[in-house]
Amino acid sequence: MSAIDPTTATTAQSGSTSATNPKATLDKNGFLKMFVAQMSNQDPSSSQDPNASTQMMAMFSMVEQLTNLSMQDQTSSAVSLLGKTVSYKDSDGAIQSGVVNSVSTGTAGAATLTVGNLSGIDPASIQSVA
């Protein structure tokens, strides 16, 4: 029998070693896929708690709202850098600096900066703000 612990993303089988994937996460799309799979594989003749699906939908709604709030907070933080001189690590790991000229959001809602003439700078790469 196997068990999955969603809080640590650890999968273990009885009598065997366990494997851990610290980068494993369940985003809202993954959660929705899991929910749909659970609903489609449900046995309609079994007596199941009628509140279970309502609780699952409430959890999905909460995950979605928290994700949206997090994206808004990241965008607000990025906007607060407009006009400021920042130092950031580029893709090669070298420290670069320049003035933040603009903030863009992609289709997933993640904010990126344009520093000087270079766009697509991840706000997480910022090392300092002057």
Q: Is this model's pTM higher than 0.75 or not?
A: no
Per-residue pLDDT band at 32 (split at 50, 70, 90): confident
Q: Helices (DSSP H) in the chain: which residue ranges?
A: 28-40, 51-79
Which residue would you say has higher pLDDT here, 71 or 88?
88
List the domain boundaries for the chain.
81-129
Which residue would you say has higher pLDDT here, 111 or 6?
111
Q: What is the DSSP letter of 4?
A: E
Model confidence pLDDT, tens digit, residues 57-79: 788 788 778 877 777 778 888 88
Average pLDDT over residues 35-61: 74
